[in-house]
Amino acid sequence: MNVFKVVCILGVVAFLFACSEQPTDPVAPPGPTFMEVDLPFSIQDLLDSMDILEGDPLFTPPEIDGDPVVLPVGTYDRYAVEIIWGVLGEPPTSELSSMDWTGGVMLTSPGVVIPRQVIDFERGEDSLMRVSVGYGLGWASKTTADFDGVLLDVYIRTDIMTLVIPELILKMVPFEQRWNTMELADLDKVYDVDNIHKVAIKSRKVEDSDCPRGRMAGKWLFKSRQSGYFLGHWLTEFGSVRGYLFGKFWADNDGGRYFEGYWVVRDRRIEGHLKGKWEFDPNTSADLANVRRPRGHFEGRFTNEEGNLIGSLRGKFGYPFCSTVSISDQNLWPTAFVGEWWVDCPDVVGL
């Protein structure tokens, strides 16, 4: 990306945020109105499936101008925010022209926006950038028949008094919207930009907890219609890799469906065992002959190596793989899984 192009993009981002350069003004000027529509299952599924990117060592947090974004000392509320834009459903049969989504996000009160992962950014075409106005993050992005997106950690200072409820403003060339912190605590929205393009956002407030908890993500692979194996990453609450998990799942002659496996720390030492039950979702037939991607859920318990019960886990399988994952065995029905684990407090044993 040449210098002239970078300067032009920075100019566009600065212009978009110029009207928002008054973060303490209690009366914000009204922006354009975009139609909020019901969140289709396909887009909710897409938003959920992107969570698998968090904490995966195949992906590293993006840098801006060669430097990571750092969090200054202070007290913060943290929100995990995912935004995707572009063609979020089946693309039309006619050829589409390129859509410019250059813009970014900005906070109306002191805070920091840290990028966790970019989604489908094209090298040399799409990029992140710092903004010179307020507290935020900018990007250059263009799409045709696909979509781009970002996963963000949004930190809002709670040790600095403000006159209004803090807001997160999203401004791009064709779109503008804002949400306050009460909305960001539990948000799933999709907006029509035109009859083809949409913007979707998912946001959750990350609550501090004294009880260890975290996430899981990986592969759930059917070797037959009722059995297979799983393997993936055992993640902390904030998406860093704590270790790995692997095991098998099967169905017995009475129709019960079970899984069993191990969780392993990063030095490949077995930390404990996990076991439980899995089921297909009601709309997924147990006969997988005509099923492109079987869906279901699982739940169970995990112990330490001595067999002492530690906590619980649950999750869903049936998500599409990200493009970096390849499956060489064509006899498998490949899906991805995401889930969560938590320790049964207050007695924490073995962690």
Query: What are the tens digits of pLDDT across the range 226-240?
Result: 899 999 988 877 666
Helix (H) or strand (E) holding 22: none
Q: What is the mean pLDDT of residues 18-39?
A: 51
Question: What pLDDT sits at residue 248?
Answer: 96
Q: Does 109 score more than 80 pLDDT?
A: yes
Q: What is the mean pLDDT of residues 214-219?
A: 86
Question: What pLDDT sits at residue 33?
Answer: 61
φ/ψ of 290, rounded to 5, equals -115, 20
Question: What pLDDT sits at residue 329?
Answer: 47
249 vs 308: which has the higher pLDDT: 249
Residue 71: how many other CB atoms lie within 10 Å? 12
- Give the C-alpha separation, 87 to 287, whole Å: 32
- Residue 218 token pair: 């990986």
Nearest to 80 by CA among 243, 240, 210, 237: 237
**C-alpha to C-alpha distances, 334 to 142, 237, 330, nearest whole angstrom:** 30, 26, 9
φ/ψ of 153, rounded to 5, equals -105, 115
Write the DSSP string, 175-195: EEEEEEHHHHTEEEEEEESSS
Query: What are the tens digits of pLDDT across the range 73-88?
Result: 778 898 989 999 999 8
29 vs 226: which has the higher pLDDT: 226
**C-alpha to C-alpha distances, 18 to 9, 106, 204, 255, nearest whole angstrom:** 14, 11, 28, 62
Give the pLDDT band (50/70/90) at residue 26: very low
Nearest to 246 by CA among 211, 221, 226, 224: 221
145 vs 51: which has the higher pLDDT: 145
Q: Does 224 score more than 70 pLDDT?
A: yes
Beta strands in 122-174 (DSSP E): 127-129, 135-140, 142-143, 147-157, 167-172
Residue 118: how many other CB atoms lie within 10 Å? 20
Share the mean pLDDT of the chain.
77
Question: What pLDDT sits at residue 20?
Answer: 47
Question: What pLDDT sits at residue 29?
Answer: 42
Q: Does 35 score more than 70 pLDDT?
A: no
Give the pLDDT band (50/70/90) at residue 10: very low
Query: What are the tens digits of pLDDT across the range 167-207?
Result: 999 999 999 999 999 999 989 899 999 989 999 999 988 87
Question: What pLDDT sits at residue 327?
Answer: 44
Query: What are the tens digits of pLDDT across the range 248-301?
Result: 999 999 989 999 999 887 556 788 899 999 998 876 655 554 455 678 899 999
Q: Does 315 score more than 70 pLDDT?
A: yes
Q: What is the mean pLDDT of residues 97-123?
A: 89
b/e code 246-271 from CB counts within 10 Å (16+ = b):
ebebbeeeeeebebebbbbeeeeeeb
Question: What pLDDT sits at residue 338?
Answer: 87
φ/ψ of 197, rounded to 5, equals -95, 145
Question: What pLDDT sits at residue 48?
Answer: 66
Give the pLDDT band (50/70/90) at residue 27: very low
